[in-house]
Amino acid sequence: MMTPDRPAETRSVGPDPSTAAPSSADPSTADPSTAAGAALIGPVPAPGLHVMSWNIRRRTFALTPRRSDRWQRRAPGLRSLLQAERPTLLGVQEALPDQARFVAEALGGAYEHVGHGRGRHATGEASPIYYDADRLELLDWEQRALSDTPHHLGSRSWGNLIPRSLVAATFRDRMTTRTFRTLNTHLDHLSHRSRLRAAQSIRDLVTASPLPAVFLADLNARPGSAPVKRLLQDGGLADTWAAAAQRDSQEWGTFADYRTPRVGRPRIDWIMASPEVDVARAAINPARHRGGWPSDHLPVQAVLHLPQEGEAG
């Protein structure tokens, strides 16, 4: 069972001098402890589920994007990190079609994915869910707009200027036979009203199902904010970072913007789960690759143990 805000062990890992950021007198500044090719958590055997949420930063079409933001520079680090971590389940945000294909290729042939672009013709940015098909069986999935007309692709209702979507999938764990739902989204960066209405819609979907849920997201909202409170309200979901028995990193701010991560900056990228899901480990991964970061966001990770059948609810 989750017990939010319980004390957790924080495991300290020494830095790799070849990849670590320059040292700083400010203890809140990260000295990243892993290169993108070294695992912070890595493959996890059953019954554990290694889950990850990562905003990979959409490839920009600017003629001269800053060097750190160039997809060609970032992509090798993204590949290295995914191949090292091998999550059972991965929710990605801001993936353009070619980037979604790149993630699939980086993960390898054992992985499959669901989800398409958020636009009215299923084009544009996507928030796909990738899963290890050797471990998880896909039972069903859907994609809906976060709006008053969720089944109209590309629809907007709540003040967001661009469409926002939610991908939801039901899986059966082939190793344990346990069934659960996974949801992945990217909430609006400008409209507070949109974030709050979307959070309520997602919470309603989670609580309407008898299955335990794993929720992956870039919420563009920090701990204690109204959208986060709405998702956690009355035990709808729980914050896996707060509930983890062990934390394998510092609590880095997850939007580092290609700068050295810092403690004390907000977490806006999230893994939440139903309260009956046990959280063994949690981490925020500050891995670098050849002096740069694969995205302007840091991936967040957790190792979860699903409840036995009949324990949910």
pLDDT averaged over 10-residue windows placed end to end, the chain, 313 residues = 50 38 46 68 98 97 81 96 98 98 98 98 97 99 98 97 98 98 98 98 98 99 98 96 98 98 97 99 96 97 91 54
The pLDDT assigned to 6 comes to 43
The pLDDT assigned to 38 comes to 86
CATH number at residue 242: 3.60.10.10
Q: Evaluate whether residue 177 is within a structural domain.
A: yes
The pLDDT assigned to 78 comes to 98
Q: Evaluate whether residue 25 is within a structural domain.
A: no
The pLDDT assigned to 61 comes to 78
Q: Evaluate whether residue 42 is within a structural domain.
A: no
Q: Evaluate whether residue 40 is within a structural domain.
A: no
The pLDDT assigned to 35 comes to 61
Give me the half-sphere count of Cα atoms (radius 13 Å) on the Cβ side of residue 127: 32
Contact 93, 184 (CB under 8 A): yes
- For 177, the domain range is 49-305
Q: Evaluate whether residue 201 is within a structural domain.
A: yes
Measured CA distances, 250 to 2, 50, 84 (Å): 20, 18, 20
The pLDDT assigned to 12 comes to 42
Contact 43, 86 (CB under 8 A): yes
The pLDDT assigned to 17 comes to 29
Contact 269, 52 (CB under 8 A): no
Q: Evaluate whether residue 264 is within a structural domain.
A: yes
Nearest of 7, 47, 3 to residue 307 by alpha carbon = 47
- Count how many domains the chain has: 1
Q: Evaluate whether residue 14 is within a structural domain.
A: no
Q: Evaluate whether residue 258 is within a structural domain.
A: yes
